[in-house]
Structure 1
């Protein structure tokens, strides 16, 4: 079996240990596991912020309930 040599990289020991464990569990090479980890990490890029009228919009959050007028009144009537 021929092996190809790639670039040498520095990797933290905890990450190396995690990659070794995954490689052993999956029956894959260490290089393949590290490459998969890097690819997945790069795919998790932060979304580009949206702007409206020159102002950056806040990120959308799917809240479980809507704010009611009663909620607003409670906050308005709280002592400072």
Structure 2
């Protein structure tokens, strides 16, 4: 049984392109995962401080909660 080297070489030629495609698609999936994770975290952060602002309206400083809500909004914009 004879092994045809040209067929093997022709098949191996496409391997770097396939590996590059896998690497880039993996990076894209990872970046999308990190983006949504940050976005969900920022939304939860904002929700937490809005709830705290409503519950502890009288006991906590007015300015601090505005700063925390603004920082949560900045997190959402950055995510």
TM over 0.5: no
Q: Give TM-score scaled by structure 1 length.
A: 0.31
TM-score norm. by structure 2 comes to 0.31
Determine which structure has greater relative contact order: mean sequence separation of CA pairs < 8 Å that are 6+ residues apart, divided by chain length.
2
Comparing both structures, which one devotes a greater share of its residues to strand? 1
Larger radius of gyration: 2
Flag the structure with higher helix content: 2
